[in-house]
Amino acid sequence: MPRKSKFQIKILGAYGGRFKDLGTTCLQISETILVDAGNIMRALGEESLKINHVFITHAHLDHIVDIPFLVDYTFRYRDQALNIYGHRETLDAIKSYVMNWNIWPEFSSIRLLNSGDYAVNYIEIEEGQEIQVDGFTFIPIESNHTVKTFGYIIKKGSSAILFTSDTFKNPSLWERVNEDSSIKAVITEVSFPSYMFNVAEVSKHHTPRTLREDLKNLKRENVDLYVMHLKPSALQELKKEIKEILPEVEILSDGDKIELQ
Ligand SMILES: [Zn+2]
Ligand SMILES: [Zn+2]
- Cα-to-centroid distance, 55 and ligand 1 (Å): 15
Ligand that comes closest to the CA of residue 60 = 1
What integer pLDDT is reported at residue 245 of this predicted model? Answer: 98
Q: In what order do the strands lie in the sheet with 159-163?
A: 131-133, 136-142, 150-156, 159-163, 183-189, 224-228, 249-251
Q: Is the dihedral of CA 224, 186, 52, 11 positive or negative?
A: negative
* pLDDT at 192 > cutoff 60: yes
Q: Once rounded to an integer, what is the mean pLDDT over residues 204-232?
A: 98
Q: Is the dihedral of CA 6, 229, 235, 200 positive or negative?
A: negative
Query: Pairing relation of β-strands 53-55 and 249-251?
Result: unpaired
Cβ contacts of residue 70 below 8 Å, gap of 6+?
37, 40, 41, 48, 51, 54, 82
Residue 3 — very low, low, confident or very high, per pLDDT cuts 50/70/90? low
What integer pLDDT is reported at residue 5 of this predicted model? Answer: 61
Q: Where are the domains of the chain?
A: 7-260
Express as a percent the part of the chain with pLDDT over 70: 98
Residue 261 — very low, low, confident or very high, per pLDDT cuts 50/70/90? confident
Query: Burial level of 118, CB count in 10 A (0-12/13-18/19+)?
Result: middle
pTM of the shown model: 0.97
- Cα-to-centroid distance, 166 and ligand 1 (Å): 5
Tell me the pLDDT of the chain averaged across its residues: 96
Q: Once rounded to an integer, what is the mean pLDDT over residues 126-135?
A: 97
pLDDT tens, residue by residue, 11-69: 999 999 999 999 999 999 999 999 999 999 999 999 999 999 999 999 999 999 999 99
Query: Pairing relation of β-strands 249-251 and 33-35?
Result: unpaired
The partner residues of 19 in beta bridges, in order of sequence, read: 22
Ligand that comes closest to the CA of residue 62 = 2
- Cα-to-centroid distance, 151 and ligand 2 (Å): 12
- Cα-to-centroid distance, 114 and ligand 1 (Å): 35
- Cα-to-centroid distance, 29 and ligand 1 (Å): 20
What integer pLDDT is reported at residue 6 of this predicted model? Answer: 78
- Cα-to-centroid distance, 23 and ligand 2 (Å): 11
Give, as one character, the DSSP assignment of residue 30.
S
Its CATH architecture, for the domain 7-260, is 4-Layer Sandwich (3.60)
What integer pLDDT is reported at residue 227 of this predicted model? Answer: 98
* pLDDT at 4 > cutoff 60: no
What integer pLDDT is reported at residue 106 of this predicted model? Answer: 97
What amino acid occupies position 125? I
What integer pLDDT is reported at residue 198 of this predicted model? Answer: 98
Residues 14/23, Cβ–Cβ less than 8 Å: yes
pLDDT tens, residue by residue, 152-164: 999 999 999 999 9
